Structure 1
Protein backbone atom coordinates (compact mmCIF):
# COMPACT_ATOMS: atom_id res chain seq x y z
CA UNK A 1 0.00 0.00 0.00
CA UNK A 2 1.36 3.42 -0.94
CA UNK A 3 1.48 6.43 1.29
CA UNK A 4 -1.72 8.44 1.01
CA UNK A 5 -0.98 11.90 -0.42
CA UNK A 6 2.34 12.11 1.42
CA UNK A 7 3.51 14.92 -0.85
CA UNK A 8 0.91 17.26 0.67
CA UNK A 9 2.51 16.80 4.07
CA UNK A 10 5.87 18.02 2.82
CA UNK A 11 6.92 21.31 4.37
CA UNK A 12 7.99 22.59 0.94
CA UNK A 13 4.67 21.86 -0.77
CA UNK A 14 3.73 25.11 -2.53
CA UNK A 15 6.37 26.94 -0.46
CA UNK A 16 4.65 25.84 2.74
CA UNK A 17 1.75 28.27 2.33
CA UNK A 18 -1.10 25.72 2.39
CA UNK A 19 0.31 24.11 5.54
CA UNK A 20 0.73 27.46 7.29
CA UNK A 21 -2.81 28.45 6.31
CA UNK A 22 -4.39 25.25 7.62
CA UNK A 23 -2.40 25.12 10.84
CA UNK A 24 -3.07 28.79 11.56
CA UNK A 25 -6.80 28.30 10.96
CA UNK A 26 -7.01 25.11 13.01
CA UNK A 27 -4.82 26.61 15.73
CA UNK A 28 -7.07 29.66 15.96
CA UNK A 29 -10.09 27.36 16.28
CA UNK A 30 -8.31 25.38 19.02
CA UNK A 31 -7.47 28.58 20.93
CA UNK A 32 -11.08 29.75 20.70
CA UNK A 33 -12.48 26.48 22.03
CA UNK A 34 -9.88 26.02 24.77
CA UNK A 35 -9.53 29.60 26.00
CA UNK A 36 -12.56 31.64 24.95
CA UNK A 37 -15.43 29.15 24.99
CA UNK A 38 -14.22 26.97 27.84
CA UNK A 39 -11.96 27.09 30.88
CA UNK A 40 -8.71 25.17 30.40
CA UNK A 41 -6.13 24.57 33.14
CA UNK A 42 -2.78 22.92 32.45
CA UNK A 43 -0.46 21.48 35.08
CA UNK A 44 3.24 21.37 34.21
CA UNK A 45 2.75 23.17 30.90
CA UNK A 46 6.30 24.55 30.94
CA UNK A 47 7.76 21.04 30.68
CA UNK A 48 5.83 20.43 27.46
CA UNK A 49 6.64 23.87 26.08
CA UNK A 50 10.35 23.45 26.77
CA UNK A 51 10.51 20.11 24.96
CA UNK A 52 8.49 21.36 22.00
CA UNK A 53 10.58 24.50 21.58
CA UNK A 54 14.09 23.64 22.67
CA UNK A 55 14.89 19.94 23.04
CA UNK A 56 18.36 18.86 21.83
CA UNK A 57 18.78 18.91 18.02
CA UNK A 58 17.90 15.61 16.38
CA UNK A 59 16.11 14.22 19.44
CA UNK A 60 12.49 13.31 18.65
CA UNK A 61 9.57 13.85 21.00
CA UNK A 62 6.61 11.52 21.43
CA UNK A 63 3.63 12.70 23.45
CA UNK A 64 0.97 10.15 24.39
CA UNK A 65 -2.46 10.85 25.83
CA UNK A 66 -5.85 9.39 26.58
CA UNK A 67 -8.50 9.88 23.91
CA UNK A 68 -11.81 11.28 25.16
CA UNK A 69 -13.25 13.01 22.09
CA UNK A 70 -12.74 13.77 18.41
CA UNK A 71 -11.59 17.26 19.46
CA UNK A 72 -8.72 16.18 21.75
CA UNK A 73 -6.36 17.05 18.94
CA UNK A 74 -6.10 19.93 18.09
CA UNK A 75 -7.88 21.57 21.06
CA UNK A 76 -5.55 20.11 23.70
CA UNK A 77 -2.81 22.27 22.14
CA UNK A 78 -4.96 25.41 22.28
CA UNK A 79 -4.17 26.44 25.84
CA UNK A 80 -2.77 29.85 26.59
CA UNK A 81 0.93 30.23 25.78
CA UNK A 82 1.22 27.23 23.45
CA UNK A 83 2.47 27.93 19.87
CA UNK A 84 -0.61 26.32 18.33
CA UNK A 85 -0.40 28.32 15.09
CA UNK A 86 3.32 27.72 14.47
CA UNK A 87 3.50 25.23 11.59
CA UNK A 88 7.16 24.46 12.23
CA UNK A 89 6.69 23.60 15.90
CA UNK A 90 3.33 21.86 15.57
CA UNK A 91 3.10 18.11 16.15
CA UNK A 92 2.68 15.29 13.71
CA UNK A 93 -0.17 13.03 14.79
CA UNK A 94 -1.37 9.55 13.90
CA UNK A 95 -4.93 9.79 12.59
CA UNK A 96 -7.46 7.10 11.69
CA UNK A 97 -7.47 6.60 7.93
CA UNK A 98 -11.15 5.56 7.81
CA UNK A 99 -12.23 8.84 9.45
CA UNK A 100 -9.77 11.55 8.43
CA UNK A 101 -8.78 10.27 4.97
CA UNK A 102 -12.10 9.17 3.50
CA UNK A 103 -11.75 11.24 0.33
CA UNK A 104 -9.32 13.47 -1.56
CA UNK A 105 -10.40 16.74 0.07
CA UNK A 106 -10.16 15.39 3.63
CA UNK A 107 -6.86 13.66 2.85
CA UNK A 108 -5.34 16.89 1.55
CA UNK A 109 -6.63 18.91 4.53
CA UNK A 110 -5.36 16.50 7.17
CA UNK A 111 -2.04 16.06 5.41
CA UNK A 112 -1.54 19.82 5.49
CA UNK A 113 -2.34 19.60 9.20
CA UNK A 114 0.62 17.20 9.70
CA UNK A 115 -1.53 14.08 10.14
CA UNK A 116 -0.26 10.61 9.25
CA UNK A 117 -2.98 8.11 8.28
CA UNK A 118 -3.07 4.87 10.21
CA UNK A 119 -5.10 1.85 9.13
CA UNK A 120 -6.77 0.33 12.18
CA UNK A 121 -5.85 -3.32 12.37
CA UNK A 122 -3.11 -2.79 9.80
CA UNK A 123 -0.38 -3.77 12.24
CA UNK A 124 2.71 -2.02 13.54
CA UNK A 125 4.70 -2.60 10.35
CA UNK A 126 2.21 -0.98 7.97
CA UNK A 127 3.63 1.54 5.50
CA UNK A 128 2.39 4.62 7.34
CA UNK A 129 4.07 3.49 10.57
CA UNK A 130 7.31 3.53 8.60
CA UNK A 131 6.46 7.10 7.63
CA UNK A 132 5.94 7.99 11.31
CA UNK A 133 9.30 6.43 12.09
CA UNK A 134 10.89 8.63 9.42
CA UNK A 135 9.46 11.75 11.09
CA UNK A 136 11.00 10.62 14.38
CA UNK A 137 14.29 9.99 12.58
CA UNK A 138 14.15 13.64 11.53
CA UNK A 139 13.90 14.67 15.19
CA UNK A 140 10.24 15.69 14.89
CA UNK A 141 7.44 15.71 17.48
CA UNK A 142 4.80 13.00 17.12
CA UNK A 143 1.59 12.66 19.14
CA UNK A 144 -0.25 9.36 19.50
CA UNK A 145 -3.38 8.07 21.21
CA UNK A 146 -2.08 4.62 22.19
CA UNK A 147 -5.45 3.38 23.46
CA UNK A 148 -6.47 3.39 19.81
CA UNK A 149 -9.98 4.80 20.06
CA UNK A 150 -12.19 7.35 21.82
CA UNK A 151 -13.47 6.42 25.28
CA UNK A 152 -15.64 8.93 27.13
CA UNK A 153 -16.11 6.86 30.28
CA UNK A 154 -14.13 7.61 33.42
CA UNK A 155 -12.34 4.26 33.41
CA UNK A 156 -8.76 3.07 33.91
CA UNK A 157 -6.43 3.44 30.93
CA UNK A 158 -6.93 0.42 28.71
CA UNK A 159 -4.23 -1.88 27.38
CA UNK A 160 -2.23 0.16 24.91
CA UNK A 161 -1.73 -0.74 21.27
CA UNK A 162 1.85 -1.67 20.48
CA UNK A 163 2.38 0.84 17.69
CA UNK A 164 3.72 3.60 19.93
CA UNK A 165 6.04 1.18 21.73
CA UNK A 166 7.39 -0.08 18.41
CA UNK A 167 8.19 3.48 17.30
CA UNK A 168 10.04 4.15 20.55
CA UNK A 169 12.05 0.94 20.18
CA UNK A 170 12.81 1.35 16.46
CA UNK A 171 13.70 5.05 16.37
CA UNK A 172 17.43 5.65 15.63
CA UNK A 173 17.53 8.10 18.55
CA UNK A 174 15.37 7.13 21.52
CA UNK A 175 12.56 9.70 21.71
CA UNK A 176 11.68 11.78 24.72
CA UNK A 177 8.36 10.22 25.77
CA UNK A 178 5.95 12.53 27.55
CA UNK A 179 2.56 11.40 28.95
CA UNK A 180 -0.43 13.75 28.96
CA UNK A 181 -3.81 13.11 30.58
CA UNK A 182 -6.84 15.32 30.07
CA UNK A 183 -10.41 15.47 31.31
CA UNK A 184 -13.31 17.57 30.04
CA UNK A 185 -13.17 17.12 26.28
CA UNK A 186 -15.87 14.48 26.60
CA UNK A 187 -18.15 17.30 27.78
CA UNK A 188 -17.10 19.70 25.03
CA UNK A 189 -17.76 17.12 22.30
CA UNK A 190 -19.89 14.27 23.70
CA UNK A 191 -20.31 11.26 21.42
CA UNK A 192 -24.04 10.98 22.22
CA UNK A 193 -25.60 14.42 22.56
CA UNK A 194 -28.71 14.57 20.38
CA UNK A 195 -30.16 11.44 18.77
CA UNK A 196 -26.99 9.57 19.75
CA UNK A 197 -24.88 11.95 17.67
CA UNK A 198 -22.20 14.50 18.42
CA UNK A 199 -23.24 18.16 18.61
CA UNK A 200 -22.69 20.13 15.37
CA UNK A 201 -20.34 22.55 17.18
CA UNK A 202 -18.22 22.30 20.34
CA UNK A 203 -20.11 22.98 23.57
CA UNK A 204 -19.01 25.76 25.90
CA UNK A 205 -18.69 26.72 29.58
CA UNK A 206 -16.97 23.42 30.36
CA UNK A 207 -13.89 22.83 32.49
CA UNK A 208 -10.95 21.19 30.74
CA UNK A 209 -8.07 19.88 32.85
CA UNK A 210 -4.75 18.78 31.39
CA UNK A 211 -1.83 17.23 33.27
CA UNK A 212 1.56 16.99 31.58
CA UNK A 213 3.70 14.27 33.12
CA UNK A 214 7.47 14.17 33.35
CA UNK A 215 9.32 12.37 30.51
CA UNK A 216 9.41 8.58 30.84
CA UNK A 217 12.96 7.28 30.63
CA UNK A 218 13.64 4.17 28.54
CA UNK A 219 16.93 2.26 28.43
CA UNK A 220 16.10 0.58 25.14
CA UNK A 221 19.28 -1.51 24.99
CA UNK A 222 18.58 -2.98 28.42
CA UNK A 223 14.90 -3.56 27.64
CA UNK A 224 15.83 -5.36 24.41
CA UNK A 225 18.18 -7.68 26.27
CA UNK A 226 15.50 -8.46 28.85
CA UNK A 227 13.01 -9.18 26.07
CA UNK A 228 15.42 -11.62 24.40
CA UNK A 229 15.95 -13.53 27.64
CA UNK A 230 12.25 -13.53 28.51
CA UNK A 231 11.21 -14.79 25.09
CA UNK A 232 13.61 -17.74 25.35
CA UNK A 233 12.04 -18.85 28.63
CA UNK A 234 8.40 -18.46 27.65
CA UNK A 235 5.90 -20.10 25.37
CA UNK A 236 5.85 -18.75 21.84
CA UNK A 237 3.27 -16.38 20.35
CA UNK A 238 1.49 -17.03 17.08
CA UNK A 239 3.68 -15.44 14.41
CA UNK A 240 2.65 -12.67 12.02
CA UNK A 241 5.84 -12.52 9.97
CA UNK A 242 7.44 -9.44 11.52
CA UNK A 243 10.93 -8.58 10.26
CA UNK A 244 13.77 -8.93 12.79
CA UNK A 245 14.66 -5.91 14.93
CA UNK A 246 18.40 -6.28 15.28
CA UNK A 247 18.89 -9.40 17.41
CA UNK A 248 15.20 -9.54 18.34
CA UNK A 249 12.97 -12.08 16.63
CA UNK A 250 9.20 -11.64 16.62
CA UNK A 251 8.69 -13.22 20.05
CA UNK A 252 11.29 -10.95 21.65
CA UNK A 253 9.78 -7.90 19.96
CA UNK A 254 6.38 -8.76 21.41
CA UNK A 255 7.81 -8.90 24.94
CA UNK A 256 9.65 -5.63 24.32
CA UNK A 257 6.52 -3.84 23.10
CA UNK A 258 4.43 -5.23 25.96
CA UNK A 259 7.03 -4.00 28.47
CA UNK A 260 7.26 -0.49 27.00
CA UNK A 261 3.48 -0.21 26.63
CA UNK A 262 2.83 -1.25 30.22
CA UNK A 263 5.35 1.26 31.54
CA UNK A 264 3.56 4.02 29.64
CA UNK A 265 0.09 2.80 30.63
CA UNK A 266 1.09 2.70 34.31
CA UNK A 267 2.24 6.34 34.26
CA UNK A 268 -0.85 7.45 32.34
CA UNK A 269 -3.11 5.72 34.88
CA UNK A 270 -1.41 7.49 37.79
CA UNK A 271 -1.96 10.83 36.05
CA UNK A 272 -5.59 9.90 35.31
CA UNK A 273 -6.24 9.30 39.00
CA UNK A 274 -4.72 12.71 39.81
CA UNK A 275 -6.66 14.65 37.16
CA UNK A 276 -9.95 13.16 38.36
CA UNK A 277 -9.39 13.93 42.05
CA UNK A 278 -11.99 16.42 43.29
CA UNK A 279 -10.64 19.67 44.66
CA UNK A 280 -10.81 19.90 48.45
Structure 2
Protein backbone atom coordinates (compact mmCIF):
# COMPACT_ATOMS: atom_id res chain seq x y z
CA UNK A 1 0.00 0.00 0.00
CA UNK A 2 1.38 3.40 -1.01
CA UNK A 3 1.57 5.87 1.83
CA UNK A 4 -1.20 8.45 1.41
CA UNK A 5 0.26 11.96 1.13
CA UNK A 6 2.93 11.51 3.75
CA UNK A 7 4.70 14.52 2.26
CA UNK A 8 1.81 16.73 3.44
CA UNK A 9 2.43 15.69 7.04
CA UNK A 10 5.99 17.04 7.03
CA UNK A 11 6.58 20.07 9.25
CA UNK A 12 8.40 21.89 6.44
CA UNK A 13 5.66 21.35 3.83
CA UNK A 14 5.18 24.85 2.33
CA UNK A 15 7.14 26.24 5.29
CA UNK A 16 4.59 24.76 7.70
CA UNK A 17 1.86 27.28 6.87
CA UNK A 18 -0.82 24.78 5.79
CA UNK A 19 -0.30 22.72 8.95
CA UNK A 20 -0.46 25.79 11.19
CA UNK A 21 -3.63 26.95 9.43
CA UNK A 22 -5.39 23.59 9.81
CA UNK A 23 -4.29 23.09 13.43
CA UNK A 24 -5.45 26.59 14.35
CA UNK A 25 -8.81 26.16 12.62
CA UNK A 26 -9.46 22.72 14.13
CA UNK A 27 -8.21 23.90 17.52
CA UNK A 28 -10.58 26.85 17.46
CA UNK A 29 -13.45 24.52 16.61
CA UNK A 30 -12.45 22.18 19.45
CA UNK A 31 -12.36 25.01 21.99
CA UNK A 32 -15.72 26.31 20.81
CA UNK A 33 -17.36 22.89 21.26
CA UNK A 34 -15.62 22.08 24.55
CA UNK A 35 -15.80 25.47 26.27
CA UNK A 36 -18.50 27.63 24.64
CA UNK A 37 -21.14 25.11 23.55
CA UNK A 38 -20.66 22.63 26.37
CA UNK A 39 -19.29 22.40 29.91
CA UNK A 40 -15.96 20.57 30.12
CA UNK A 41 -14.16 19.65 33.32
CA UNK A 42 -10.75 18.00 33.45
CA UNK A 43 -9.42 16.03 36.41
CA UNK A 44 -5.62 16.02 36.79
CA UNK A 45 -5.10 18.26 33.75
CA UNK A 46 -1.67 19.41 34.96
CA UNK A 47 -0.19 15.94 34.41
CA UNK A 48 -1.20 16.02 30.75
CA UNK A 49 -0.11 19.63 30.27
CA UNK A 50 3.31 19.01 31.82
CA UNK A 51 3.97 15.98 29.63
CA UNK A 52 2.86 17.77 26.45
CA UNK A 53 4.90 20.88 27.16
CA UNK A 54 7.98 19.77 29.06
CA UNK A 55 8.72 16.05 29.10
CA UNK A 56 12.39 15.05 28.78
CA UNK A 57 13.89 15.70 25.31
CA UNK A 58 13.67 12.72 22.97
CA UNK A 59 11.17 10.84 25.14
CA UNK A 60 7.94 10.05 23.25
CA UNK A 61 4.49 10.29 24.79
CA UNK A 62 1.58 7.97 24.03
CA UNK A 63 -1.82 8.97 25.35
CA UNK A 64 -4.57 6.34 25.24
CA UNK A 65 -8.27 6.92 25.72
CA UNK A 66 -11.67 5.37 25.32
CA UNK A 67 -13.55 6.19 22.12
CA UNK A 68 -17.03 7.60 22.70
CA UNK A 69 -17.65 9.54 19.48
CA UNK A 70 -16.18 10.76 16.22
CA UNK A 71 -15.48 14.09 17.93
CA UNK A 72 -13.33 12.75 20.78
CA UNK A 73 -10.31 13.98 18.89
CA UNK A 74 -9.92 16.95 18.52
CA UNK A 75 -12.52 18.20 21.04
CA UNK A 76 -10.96 16.43 24.03
CA UNK A 77 -7.96 18.76 23.60
CA UNK A 78 -10.15 21.87 23.50
CA UNK A 79 -10.41 22.44 27.25
CA UNK A 80 -9.35 25.74 28.79
CA UNK A 81 -5.58 26.08 29.14
CA UNK A 82 -4.59 23.41 26.62
CA UNK A 83 -2.39 24.55 23.68
CA UNK A 84 -4.89 23.27 21.14
CA UNK A 85 -3.84 25.69 18.40
CA UNK A 86 -0.10 25.11 18.74
CA UNK A 87 0.94 23.04 15.70
CA UNK A 88 4.30 22.08 17.21
CA UNK A 89 2.85 20.76 20.47
CA UNK A 90 -0.23 19.15 18.97
CA UNK A 91 -0.54 15.35 18.96
CA UNK A 92 -0.18 12.86 16.17
CA UNK A 93 -3.13 10.49 16.09
CA UNK A 94 -3.91 7.13 14.51
CA UNK A 95 -6.92 7.63 12.26
CA UNK A 96 -9.23 5.21 10.43
CA UNK A 97 -8.23 5.20 6.78
CA UNK A 98 -11.69 4.20 5.56
CA UNK A 99 -13.25 7.29 7.20
CA UNK A 100 -10.69 10.08 7.01
CA UNK A 101 -8.68 9.19 3.91
CA UNK A 102 -11.37 8.41 1.35
CA UNK A 103 -10.40 11.10 -1.19
CA UNK A 104 -7.59 13.51 -2.03
CA UNK A 105 -9.10 16.51 -0.22
CA UNK A 106 -9.75 14.66 3.03
CA UNK A 107 -6.37 12.95 2.87
CA UNK A 108 -4.59 16.28 2.51
CA UNK A 109 -6.63 17.88 5.31
CA UNK A 110 -6.08 15.08 7.81
CA UNK A 111 -2.39 14.79 6.91
CA UNK A 112 -1.98 18.48 7.69
CA UNK A 113 -3.76 17.77 10.98
CA UNK A 114 -1.02 15.28 11.96
CA UNK A 115 -3.15 12.18 11.37
CA UNK A 116 -1.65 8.80 10.47
CA UNK A 117 -3.93 6.53 8.40
CA UNK A 118 -4.52 3.08 9.82
CA UNK A 119 -6.27 0.27 7.97
CA UNK A 120 -8.63 -1.40 10.43
CA UNK A 121 -7.98 -5.12 10.31
CA UNK A 122 -4.63 -4.52 8.62
CA UNK A 123 -2.65 -5.85 11.57
CA UNK A 124 0.05 -4.39 13.77
CA UNK A 125 2.77 -4.67 11.13
CA UNK A 126 1.00 -2.64 8.46
CA UNK A 127 3.02 0.10 6.78
CA UNK A 128 1.60 3.08 8.64
CA UNK A 129 2.37 1.53 12.02
CA UNK A 130 6.00 1.93 10.96
CA UNK A 131 5.23 5.58 10.33
CA UNK A 132 3.84 5.86 13.87
CA UNK A 133 7.05 4.30 15.21
CA UNK A 134 9.03 6.91 13.30
CA UNK A 135 7.12 9.69 15.05
CA UNK A 136 7.83 8.06 18.41
CA UNK A 137 11.51 7.82 17.47
CA UNK A 138 11.39 11.58 16.96
CA UNK A 139 10.18 11.98 20.56
CA UNK A 140 6.71 13.06 19.46
CA UNK A 141 3.33 12.76 21.16
CA UNK A 142 1.00 10.12 19.69
CA UNK A 143 -2.63 9.56 20.69
CA UNK A 144 -4.38 6.24 20.13
CA UNK A 145 -7.81 4.74 20.70
CA UNK A 146 -6.92 1.15 21.62
CA UNK A 147 -10.57 0.04 21.57
CA UNK A 148 -10.34 0.37 17.79
CA UNK A 149 -13.79 1.87 17.23
CA UNK A 150 -16.49 4.00 18.83
CA UNK A 151 -18.27 2.52 21.85
CA UNK A 152 -21.09 4.69 23.25
CA UNK A 153 -22.51 2.12 25.64
CA UNK A 154 -22.02 2.68 29.37
CA UNK A 155 -20.17 -0.59 29.86
CA UNK A 156 -16.83 -1.74 31.28
CA UNK A 157 -13.91 -1.31 28.92
CA UNK A 158 -13.35 -4.59 27.12
CA UNK A 159 -10.36 -6.18 25.43
CA UNK A 160 -8.10 -3.69 23.68
CA UNK A 161 -6.54 -4.06 20.27
CA UNK A 162 -2.83 -4.87 20.28
CA UNK A 163 -1.64 -2.00 18.07
CA UNK A 164 -0.89 0.39 20.91
CA UNK A 165 0.87 -2.32 22.90
CA UNK A 166 3.05 -3.15 19.92
CA UNK A 167 4.07 0.49 19.52
CA UNK A 168 5.06 0.66 23.19
CA UNK A 169 7.12 -2.53 22.92
CA UNK A 170 8.73 -1.73 19.57
CA UNK A 171 9.64 1.91 20.22
CA UNK A 172 13.40 2.55 20.47
CA UNK A 173 12.78 4.65 23.58
CA UNK A 174 10.02 3.36 25.84
CA UNK A 175 7.25 5.99 25.66
CA UNK A 176 5.59 7.63 28.60
CA UNK A 177 2.10 6.09 28.51
CA UNK A 178 -0.69 8.29 29.87
CA UNK A 179 -4.25 6.91 30.18
CA UNK A 180 -7.26 9.20 29.73
CA UNK A 181 -10.96 8.38 30.05
CA UNK A 182 -13.79 10.72 29.18
CA UNK A 183 -17.57 10.84 29.56
CA UNK A 184 -20.10 12.97 27.69
CA UNK A 185 -18.93 12.90 24.09
CA UNK A 186 -21.58 10.30 23.36
CA UNK A 187 -24.13 13.03 24.14
CA UNK A 188 -22.36 15.71 22.11
CA UNK A 189 -22.20 13.48 19.02
CA UNK A 190 -24.53 10.46 19.45
CA UNK A 191 -24.17 7.76 16.81
CA UNK A 192 -27.95 7.32 16.50
CA UNK A 193 -29.61 10.71 16.87
CA UNK A 194 -32.12 11.11 14.03
CA UNK A 195 -33.13 8.17 11.82
CA UNK A 196 -30.22 6.20 13.24
CA UNK A 197 -27.63 8.74 12.10
CA UNK A 198 -25.31 11.23 13.76
CA UNK A 199 -26.43 14.89 14.03
CA UNK A 200 -24.97 17.20 11.37
CA UNK A 201 -23.47 19.43 14.08
CA UNK A 202 -22.24 18.89 17.64
CA UNK A 203 -24.98 19.16 20.25
CA UNK A 204 -24.71 21.68 23.09
CA UNK A 205 -25.43 22.19 26.79
CA UNK A 206 -23.85 18.81 27.57
CA UNK A 207 -21.45 17.94 30.35
CA UNK A 208 -18.07 16.55 29.34
CA UNK A 209 -15.75 15.02 31.93
CA UNK A 210 -12.13 14.16 31.14
CA UNK A 211 -10.18 12.12 33.68
CA UNK A 212 -6.42 12.09 33.19
CA UNK A 213 -4.61 9.30 34.99
CA UNK A 214 -0.98 8.95 35.98
CA UNK A 215 1.70 7.56 33.63
CA UNK A 216 1.81 3.76 33.43
CA UNK A 217 5.33 2.44 33.87
CA UNK A 218 6.45 -0.44 31.66
CA UNK A 219 9.67 -2.38 32.23
CA UNK A 220 9.78 -3.67 28.67
CA UNK A 221 12.88 -5.83 29.15
CA UNK A 222 11.27 -7.63 32.09
CA UNK A 223 7.94 -7.97 30.29
CA UNK A 224 9.70 -9.52 27.29
CA UNK A 225 11.34 -12.15 29.48
CA UNK A 226 7.98 -12.96 31.06
CA UNK A 227 6.40 -13.21 27.62
CA UNK A 228 9.03 -15.70 26.46
CA UNK A 229 8.42 -17.91 29.48
CA UNK A 230 4.64 -17.65 29.12
CA UNK A 231 4.70 -18.48 25.42
CA UNK A 232 6.54 -21.73 26.05
CA UNK A 233 3.52 -23.01 27.93
CA UNK A 234 1.01 -21.93 25.30
CA UNK A 235 0.27 -23.45 21.91
CA UNK A 236 -3.10 -21.83 21.28
CA UNK A 237 -1.92 -18.95 19.06
CA UNK A 238 -2.43 -19.07 15.32
CA UNK A 239 0.50 -17.79 13.29
CA UNK A 240 0.31 -14.82 10.93
CA UNK A 241 3.93 -14.65 9.89
CA UNK A 242 5.06 -11.78 12.12
CA UNK A 243 8.76 -10.91 11.96
CA UNK A 244 10.73 -11.59 15.16
CA UNK A 245 11.04 -8.80 17.71
CA UNK A 246 14.56 -9.26 19.01
CA UNK A 247 14.50 -12.63 20.76
CA UNK A 248 10.69 -12.82 20.70
CA UNK A 249 8.98 -15.07 18.19
CA UNK A 250 5.35 -14.54 17.24
CA UNK A 251 3.94 -16.47 20.19
CA UNK A 252 6.05 -14.48 22.67
CA UNK A 253 5.04 -11.22 21.01
CA UNK A 254 1.38 -12.11 21.41
CA UNK A 255 1.92 -12.81 25.11
CA UNK A 256 3.74 -9.50 25.46
CA UNK A 257 1.02 -7.49 23.71
CA UNK A 258 -1.71 -9.19 25.73
CA UNK A 259 0.11 -8.31 28.96
CA UNK A 260 0.66 -4.64 28.02
CA UNK A 261 -2.89 -4.25 26.72
CA UNK A 262 -4.41 -5.72 29.85
CA UNK A 263 -2.39 -3.40 32.07
CA UNK A 264 -3.68 -0.43 30.08
CA UNK A 265 -7.25 -1.71 30.04
CA UNK A 266 -7.25 -2.25 33.82
CA UNK A 267 -6.12 1.33 34.49
CA UNK A 268 -8.61 2.76 32.01
CA UNK A 269 -11.45 0.84 33.64
CA UNK A 270 -10.51 2.26 37.04
CA UNK A 271 -10.52 5.77 35.54
CA UNK A 272 -13.92 5.08 33.94
CA UNK A 273 -15.40 4.24 37.34
CA UNK A 274 -13.78 7.30 38.91
CA UNK A 275 -15.27 9.46 36.18
CA UNK A 276 -18.76 8.10 36.66
CA UNK A 277 -18.64 8.96 40.36
CA UNK A 278 -16.82 12.27 39.96
CA UNK A 279 -18.91 15.31 40.83
CA UNK A 280 -18.26 18.41 38.78
User: TM-score, normalising length from structure 2?
Assistant: 0.99
CA displacement, residues 27-73 of structure 1 (integer Å, 9 cap, x when unaligned): 00000000000000000000000000000000000000000000000
Deviation at 1:87, TM superposition (A): 0.2
Question: 2:94 aligns to what SS in structure 1?
Answer: strand
Residues 211-248 of structure 1: CA deviation (Å, up to 9, x unaligned): 00000000000000000111112224110000000000
Number of the residue aligned with 1:89: 89
For residues 113 and 165 of structure 2, the distance between their equivalents in structure 1, rounded to whole angstroms, comes to: 24
Aligned equivalents of 2:158 and 2:27: distance in 1? 29
Unaligned runs of 5+ in 1: none
Q: Taking structure 1 as reference, are residues 18 and 278 closer, same or farther at Cα in structure 2, changes over 3 Å only?
A: closer
Greater Cα offset, 189-198 or 25-34: 189-198
Distance in 2 between residues matched to 1:194 and 1:233, nearest whole Å: 51
Partner SS for 1:241? coil
TM-score (norm 1): 0.99
| Correspondence for 1:145 | 145
Q: Which residue of the partner structure matches residue 125 of structure 2?
A: 125
The two structures, once aligned, show a CA RMSD in angstroms of 0.9
Write out per-residue CA displacement over residues 77-128 of structure 1, whole angstroms, 9 at most, x where no aligned residue: 0000000000000000000000000000000000000000000000000000
User: What residue in structure 2 maps to residue 230 of structure 1?
Assistant: 230
Q: Could you report, residue by residue, the CA deviation over 1:160-214 in whole angstroms, capped at 9, with x for unpaired residues?
A: 0000000000000000000000000000001111111111110000000000000
Unaligned runs of 5+ in 2: none
Paired positions, count:
280
Report SS of the residue matched to 2:277: coil
SS at structure 1 position matched to 2:222? helix
Structure-2 residue corresponding to 1:215 = 215
Counterpart position of 2:57: 57
Q: Structure 1 CA distance, aligned partners of 2:107 and 2:200?
A: 21
Q: 1:279 Cα shift? A: 3.7
